[in-house]
Amino acid sequence: MENKLYKKTFYIFLIINMTLCFCVELFRNTLFFDATEAIAWGELLSFGTNKHPPLSGWLADGFYQLFFQHDFAIYLLGILCIAIGLIYIYKLAKYFLDSKKAVCAALIITSSLYYSHFVLYYNFNCNILAMALWPILIYYFYKSIKFDKLKFKLETMEKMFYGCSSLVNVEMNLFAPPSGDYDQNTIEIANKLGYKTILWSNNVNCSIAASA
């Protein structure tokens, strides 16, 4: 019951905090250079620029068009990225701390420049997007290690890889067990997921060249 109370407190604080940030941006009603630059790049539908990868531009322009080219769409996008990042920081903290301390850890992060004032200064840019993506990546990576479930690890890596491969048109169908540590169950699970298990002959921990 106490855990639910702390969780509820965190989400109430998060909603209030993000709402206040959104209201400040609406009142100021200014799109900064990074945000307008992201929208312009997104309109090109290119696979990146000489400055940034494409995802931030695609999201910026997508939100901008979705809300009929109103500036508040970019304010909302930036604030959602911050909120998602804080949620996953809280979820990750719960693996190391009790509910009360996990909430405190997440609330302390909100006082930092990056998870509070940064979104007010820049509206939205690739760094604000990264503040959502990095906590998500770390959370699922740690979860896969903690529970030590091969299938979960493979599926997690698969989702991460295909998220990147969709941008470069590369497919993955090979799986190399870390340090060459595997058994028949490893091979069977990999096969069911459509992977061929391989081993590297030049790895000091791996004496076999390949295994089907």
What pLDDT, in 10s, does the model give residues 40-67? 888 888 776 777 778 888 999 999 999 9
The pLDDT of residue 206 is above 50: no
User: Which residue is it, tokens 């990056």?
Assistant: 114
> Which run of H or of E encompasses 196?
strand 196-197
- Write the CA distances from 104 to 6, 26, 67, 75, integer angstroms: 9, 29, 35, 26
d(CA 57, CA 65): 12
Using the CB atoms, write b or e for 70-103: b if 16+ within 10 Å.
Answer: ebebbbbbbbbbbbbbbbbbbbbbbeeeebeebb
What pLDDT, in 10s, does the model give residues 60-119? 999 999 998 999 899 999 999 999 999 999 999 999 998 889 999 888 888 887 777 676
What pLDDT, in 10s, does the model give residues 124-158? 888 888 889 889 988 987 887 676 566 666 666 66
Q: What is the DSSP letter of 54?
A: S
Tokens of 212: 């089907």
